[in-house]
Structure 1
Amino acid sequence: MRVDVDESDLPDESYPEPPTVADNYRYDFWPEPAPCDIWFDVHVPKRMQADLLGEKSGDGAGAESFRIHTDYGWHGPCTFVSCLDGDEKTSPDKAVRVVHKFISQELKRSSSPIRMARVGPSPFHMVGTIAEDPSGPEGLHFEVVEVVGYRVYNFNYHPGSFDNLEAAEIGLHESVSREVQLFYDLIRRRNRRMHEAKRLSMIADQLAARHTRTGLKSWHHRVFRSGHAARSLALEAMQARLVSAQDAEDARSNIQAALENTRDLHAFTQYLEEESHDSTATEIETAVEIARLVESARSADYEVAIIAGSTLLGGLIGGIAGAGITSG
């Protein structure tokens, strides 16, 4: 194993561990020794891979030796899995699954406090290869091949720019890691927005359903007990709307910064643009509108109830006073 750490920018030792949050929604990964690179190799025999993948038979990933490189950057970590003994039949997506399952299994077996975190299922499905191209331009370049369900990225390097394939692969990691880290930061933000929008939508549906029920009990709940729920829903929906606006601004700023970084290859800009769009606006606005309608209707019913109650009470008092005068 090799660990490269920039000690000039290590996190404060007193930095608290965040609450337990699912990987798909978390803000931070803890501990997060950014900036830091971790390299190690793993050997997983083919005879074990079918079981790890939940398959009855087969060659698994088509490779047994893997190199894992985790890069902790500003927007979070990302991990590259390379097949050291692969060929044209190697399955990169299975390789990632094999490595994740194997390491998770070994950590659990050793009762280690460390676990493998991941964001998934990933909307980012691609297969990548890297090869020498003496006829190509200096440095790194790539071409994208569209395949049903995913994209194939063929990365190429000029032999005059790198000493060997391993050096070229390290250069590739450095050229794409920031975009990949930003992509999964956008995904985690999107997941949080979608989770919150779904929760607000369920509350709004329940609130609307209660206001369509008939009967004295439903009327009493609608007039005297639903006000707090409607106001809380409106406030939480407006807060979600603010988070969406902040996320959109952050995404715009971060993508622009990524495009201006001349060290990056800009291979995944299309993915960044796609995932920066917010799809929760309709659900949030619907929740706000339902809260407003419910509160408006409740206020009107409350006023009617107060007027009716005052009239009834006035009539009752008048009746009692009249009865007192007559009896006197």
Structure 2
Amino acid sequence: MDQFKGADGWFKTIEDELGQIGTIKELILDRANNFSMGSMRRVDDNGIGQIEEVEQPTRGSISFTISIPERIQQKFNPYSVAAGRKYEIGTEFQVDTRYLFHGPVTFVECVNAPPGTLASSAVALVREYLRSELQKLGGTVELLVVGPSPFHADFRIKTMPGAKPEEFDPINIQKARGFDICTFTFHQEAGIPLEILKRISQSIISDEFSLYYELVRDREIRSDQLQGIAIDLDILVDMHQTRGIKGVFRRLFRSSHKAREIILDILTAEAAEANAKRSNTQQLKELKEQPGRLIYQDKLQDQIDTSFITELRALKESASMLESGRTKEFEVAVLSLATLLGAASGAVASLIAK
């Protein structure tokens, strides 16, 4: 935060750098003074996650429209790259980022999309295009995302004349292969502008998405801890598989420290699992107590129920078993050495007696 000279500096830096991207129009920033530290996971070129503390607003918003010409879309759209073809999603996109208590949520709207558009692919397209443009600027603004995307959904708004029927559910989720389709239906006698309906729809799902992505970030951080412990266990196994006198010395004098280190890391990770379960359950409880309904409560609960306790216990058993084998090997080595020293002492005493 210090490098931006407070909240105003933070927003001003973003405004200045986004303003240098020629395809961005109608840039609007709703500034806020509420900031908090949050943990973000950055993945390097080797797929290894690194945890960073990032300060960001817990209130406010950033919105703009962005134009991405069709001729370059295939280059930036991961779906097009994977399929080897272009997706028809239009060229104008409305991007709205809301900063909330648990973290930011970004909505991408296809403004001039043809019917049947795979709208979710626009999220990836805008993300990769913005990353490229920000890198060209070489400034301080960087786009951080939670990925790979935990789930995909297209959100649509539908209007119908008249009052809403008593038993009608205005929110419908259609399960589909690859992408769910969530439709918000508004019955209205007086025409309410689509922009207002869009804001209402975003407000309904923003808080639960903010919590959802925090749960995903927390899961990824714990997963990285598990991966690190597994790598250390592989090193320990390698020590025990090394043959010859070199292997004996590695097991007797180095593997004990490594095994203790692994077991301590596992105990720390097990405590983190218990804390995450308790904290995340409380956060979901508080969200459920707020007015309105949760659309994706099952997905929130799935993230909370994700646990690495079974894997951690298996790693601990493996480390303990290897350490137990090393202890027995050390006892045998000491006993053998004592026998050799005893025999040598007996031989010396015999020579002296003669």
TM range (shorter): 0.7 to 0.9
Indicate yes or no: 2:186 matched with 1:157.
yes
Instruction: Provide the rounded CA distance (Å) in 2 between the counterparts of 1:318 and 1:197.
Output: 53
Aligned to 2:154: 127
Residue 338 of structure 2 is aligned with which of 299, 310, 315? 310
Aligned to 1:33: 57
Give the drift of 1:228.
0.6
Indicate yes or no: 2:222 matched with 1:196.
no
Indicate yes or no: 2:268 matched with 1:244.
no
* One-letter amino acid of the structure 2 residue matched with residue 183 of structure 1: Y
Is contact 2:51–2:221 with CA below 8 Å preserved after alignment? no
Secondary structure at the counterpart of residue 35 of structure 1? coil
Secondary structure at the counterpart of residue 32 of structure 1? strand
* One-letter amino acid of the structure 2 residue matched with residue 119 of structure 1: V
Structure 2 segments unaligned to the other structure (5+ residues): 1-26
Instruction: Provide the rounded CA distance (Å) in 2 between the counterparts of 1:260 and 1:154.
Output: 24
Range that drifts further, 311-320 or 229-238: 311-320
Aligned to 1:146: 175
* One-letter amino acid of the structure 1 residue matched with residue 222 of structure 2: R
Give the drift of 1:20.
8.3
Q: Which has the higher strand share?
A: 2
Secondary structure at the counterpart of residue 196 of structure 2? helix
CA RMSD, 1 decimal: 2.9
Per-residue displacement from partner, 1:102-151 (whole Å, max 9, x unpaired)? 22222223333212211122121111101223443699931011112231
Residue 256 of structure 2 is aligned with which of 227, 243, 247? 227
Aligned to 1:21: 42
- TM-score, with normalisation over the residues of structure 2? 0.80
Using CA pairs below 8 Å that are at least 6 residues apart, which structure has the higher relative contact order?
A: 1
Aligned to 1:2: 28
Per-residue displacement from partner, 1:161-201 (whole Å, max 9, x unpaired)? 98321112112212211111111111112122222222322
* One-letter amino acid of the structure 2 residue matched with residue 104 of structure 1: R
Aligned to 1:284: 312
How many residue pairs end up in the alignment? 319
Secondary structure at the counterpart of residue 3 of structure 1? strand
Provide closer, same or farther for how the CA distance between residues 107 and 225 of structure 1 changes in structure 2, counting only shifts above 3 A.
Answer: closer
Residue 253 of structure 1 is aligned with which of 282, 292, 311? 282
Indicate yes or no: 2:116 matched with 1:89.
yes
Instruction: Provide the rounded CA distance (Å) in 2 between the counterparts of 1:4 and 1:33.
Output: 11
Residue 98 of structure 1 is aligned with which of 102, 112, 125? 125
Give the drift of 1:279.
4.3
Is contact 2:42–2:52 with CA below 8 Å preserved after alignment? no
Per-residue displacement from partner, 1:240-269 (whole Å, max 9, x unpaired)? 111111111122111111111114x41111
Provide closer, same or farther for how the CA distance between residues 107 and 220 of structure 1 changes in structure 2, counting only shifts above 3 A.
Answer: closer
* One-letter amino acid of the structure 2 residue matched with residue 165 of structure 1: L
Instruction: Provide the rounded CA distance (Å) in 2 between the counterparts of 1:97 and 1:323.
Output: 86
Aligned to 2:21: none
Secondary structure at the counterpart of residue 232 of structure 2? helix
Same amino acid, percent of matched pairs: 25
Aligned to 2:329: 301
- TM-score, with normalisation over the residues of structure 1? 0.86
Structure 1 segments unaligned to the other structure (5+ residues): none
Is contact 2:41–2:217 with CA below 8 Å preserved after alignment? no
Provide closer, same or farther for how the CA distance between residues 28 and 296 of structure 1 changes in structure 2, counting only shifts above 3 A.
Answer: closer
Indicate yes or no: 2:300 matched with 1:272.
yes
Provide closer, same or farther for how the CA distance between residues 28 and 180 of structure 1 changes in structure 2, counting only shifts above 3 A.
Answer: farther
Residue 64 of structure 1 is aligned with which of 85, 91, 111? 91
Give the drift of 1:31.
3.9
* One-letter amino acid of the structure 2 residue matched with residue 245 of structure 1: A
